[in-house]
Structure 1
Amino acid sequence: MANKRLDYLDNIRWITVTLVVVYHIIYLFNNSGVISNINVKGIPVMDSFLIFVYPWFMCLLFVIAGISSRYSLEKRADKEFIKDRIQRILVPSLLGIFIYGWISSLITSQYVDMFAGNGDMIPGIIKYLIYCLAGIGPLWFCHVLFIGSLLIILIRKADKKDRLTEVCRKIKLPVLFAMVFLVWGSSFILNTPLITVYRFGIYLLMMLLGYYVFSNQELMIKLEKISIPLTIISVVIGILYVVTYYGQNFADNNVLSDLFTNIYLWIGILSILGIGSKFLNFKNRFTQYMTENNFNFYILHYVVVLSLGYFIVTYLNLLFMINYILILLGTIIILPLLIEIVKRIPIVRYMVLGIKK
């Protein structure tokens, strides 16, 4: 039974990471007022995809991470778990800021004067550090993920008899659906000001729910049984959500803290976990490859997407739909090649991908 869960969870994870890649291709040229590294507007209707996936796809990754943490801690000690997280998540996400994070800021500087006209007066090393810190990009996910891992260990230490797990094992479907109000409440707390990227409240809650609630196989079986009608409801709500927020800044904190947003993201996550359990319980060479490389794809995809996007829209005068297609095809070709090259370079593979051997 454990293998069954791991197969569909792995598939949900890499499929979601694929959605993140597609999201960023379209996001670069969004017309919704969401801040992007490239100040070029694309096809407005493409924003519909962004609005449809944005409320739930990162929350879903944290839920999956929480479930996976439960399985991992069943096989290893707390110290070994944290050591693994330091190597595979923290190190590459911190060093990545300084190895390739500057590229994002350098491209941004082609559209925005980041130094208010004083760039010539700032020493190169200072400009480099500013570029790096402004180029964290998608690596924020890894930072919150590591903090969530530490939080799980702290709660395990405090709750040595694991009473919280016993309580969560008693949760039934009506209570699970009602937890949307808990999710909604978490959307108001521990958010970074101005640009809402580090949403610690809701993301840490999602990881804890993954660990304590969604790791309950009996509950997942019940979700699986209602997964088809639940998915239909989720898609309908998603369409209504897109219609409601089309043309607005869908990443604005006021939108993210709206009850409608949180109802949609919660129903969406429940339906994906249920439908995934029902139909994604399989493994083949392709899914195994995607599973083994999903983290690598995540941390390196944006620099590839952004670089391709900049060069294509700057130096090629094409129909914009072709721009999207070229960036997607280029990413499909370049990203796996880049990962395989990095994997084969000692030290660099550890610094960038967290791989020792």
Structure 2
Amino acid sequence: MENKRLNYLDNIRWITVVLVIIYHIIYLFNNSGVISNINVKGIPVMDTFLIFVYPWFMCLLFVVSGISIRYSLEKRSGKEFIKDRAQRILVPSLLGIFIYGWISSVITNQYVDMFAGNGDKIPGIIKYLVYCLAGIGPLWFCHVLFIGSLLIVLIRKIDKKDKLTEMSRKINLPVLFAMVFLVWGSSFILNTPLITVYRFGIYLFMMLLGYYVFSNQELIIKLEKISIPLAIASIVIGIVYVATYYGQNFADNNVLNDLFTNIYLWIGIVSILGIGNKLLNFENKFTQYMTRNNFNFYILHYVVELLLGYFIVTYLDLPFMINYIIILLGVIIILPPLIEIVKRIPIIRYMVLGIKKRNSD
């Protein structure tokens, strides 16, 4: 794979993770009715950022993951790939639920009695397990990512002659844009009930699109040529989208399944891939650091934000904009050294970050 292409994919990935980190700071205090661990309302206008990025940023991560899987499987067997994914993604995302996932549930319990007044009657180990299973948080992304990896390896095994790749290479720009209706259709499939977190249908479809469609560099170059007008169009649509759904629960199924949401999502993703290939094909020491640690930032950012947010709103009485700023600065200051400390602790680094040996990160 060309180094140039790797650079733009890596940069899109870590920039999107940064958006996720900022998203969760504002999400903790959202005014849109989206369930949060801290039952404190922040500044309503800040929700505009949440509404603007929510339809597409996680889908974009799955697309980029699908593209990366294509090139990873060119260098290793399916068995080797799954073993690596299990170590680096599945293990830390499952163990993380029991190592620190309980923290979010304990904080939630400060605002909503999770045990309906019967907490004193429930054995500690049972309460701990309930806290853990209710504290999956952002780790859901890793679970879906691993399932998608298994799916791709399975499809490769069935499609031994790689006919799907041959077909996908024939997709041109008009067909690509028309695929928005397939994206829309996938938004209705395999969603978890009540609280929509695991949207298996659309997320797995995004991984497959990354693997089969967007791994075609010729298509990316075509998107690059129209990336400026595409980016302008996506921003304009995004502004209209925010105005349309401002004040509503933007994570509700009725919103996520709306055609307008999926049009915005699709235009956003194709424009970012095009503009990324145009502007983000570079690397320096900072981007290399962010690329090496983007998964580590994703895994640990939320628990840091949550603890900071809880203590700030509980024990300090500050103008709310200051709360946002303190949490952001706290994440910037705390997260990098925390990750470096965890990396240096045998066993713990494997359980939390999926790193077996120090030199493997």
TM-score range, shorter chain: over 0.9
Q: Deviation string for 1:288-322 (max 9, x for gaps)?
A: 00000000000100000000000011111000000
Which residue matches 2:253? 253
Which residue matches 1:225? 225
Does 2:182 correspond to 1:170?
no
Deviation of the 1:199 alpha carbon = 0.1
Which residue matches 1:273? 273
2-side partners of 1:273 and 1:307: how far apart?
34
Which residue matches 1:206? 206
Q: Deviation string for 1:321-341 (max 9, x for gaps)?
A: 000000000000111111011
2-side partners of 1:181 and 1:320: how far apart?
41
Which residue matches 2:317? 317
Runs (4+) off by over 2 Å: none
Q: Write the mapping of 1:1-357 to structure 2, written as runs, cut at 5 A.
A: 2-357=2-357
1-side partners of 2:10 and 2:167: how far apart?
27
Deviation of the 1:114 alpha carbon = 0.3
2-side partners of 1:269 and 1:226: how far apart?
13
SS class of match (1:32): coil
1-side partners of 2:352 and 2:294: how far apart?
14
Q: Deviation string for 1:83-135 (max 9, x for gaps)?
A: 00000000000000000000000000100100000000000000000000000
Unmatched 5+ stretches in structure 2: none
Deviation of the 1:80 alpha carbon = 0.5
SS class of match (1:71): helix
1-side partners of 2:57 and 2:182: how far apart?
18
SS class of match (2:94): helix
2-side partners of 1:137 and 1:299: how far apart?
10
2-side partners of 1:90 and 1:104: how far apart?
20
Deviation of the 1:2 alpha carbon = 1.6
Q: Deviation string for 1:113-169 (max 9, x for gaps)?
A: 000000000000000000000000000000000000000000000000000000000
1-side partners of 2:118 and 2:2: how far apart?
58
1-side partners of 2:229 and 2:220: how far apart?
15
2-side partners of 1:33 and 1:324: how far apart?
19
2-side partners of 1:224 and 1:304: how far apart?
37
SS class of match (2:261): helix
TM-score normalised per structure 1: 1.00
1-side partners of 2:2 and 2:85: how far apart?
22
Amino acid at match of 1:154: L
2-side partners of 1:315 and 1:277: how far apart?
46
Q: Deviation string for 1:6-25 (max 9, x for gaps)?
A: 10000000000000000000
2-side partners of 1:340 and 1:312: how far apart?
25
Q: Percent identity?
A: 88
Amino acid at match of 1:11: N
TM-score normalised per structure 2: 0.99
RMSD, aligned α-carbons: 0.5
2-side partners of 1:47 and 1:224: how far apart?
31
2-side partners of 1:349 and 1:226: how far apart?
43
